[in-house]
Amino acid sequence: MGADVGLVAASALHAGFQLVMTVLVYPAFRTVPVELWAAQHGRHTRRVTWLVVPVYGLLALAGLATLRSGADAWQLVALGLLVGCVVVTATVAGPAHSRLAAGRDPAALARLLVADRLRCVAAVLAGLAALVASS
- The residue extents of the domains of the chain are 3-134
Q: Whole-model pTM?
A: 0.90
Reported confidence tier of residue 2, pLDDT bands at 50, 70, 90: low
pLDDT tens column, 91-131 = 999 999 999 998 899 999 999 999 999 999 999 999 999 99
68's CB contacts (< 8 A; 6+ apart) are 3
Mean per-residue pLDDT, 37-47: 91
% helix / strand / coil in the chain, to the nearest 5?
90, 0, 10
Mean per-residue pLDDT, 30-43: 91
pLDDT tens column, 81-92 = 999 999 999 999
pLDDT at 4: 84
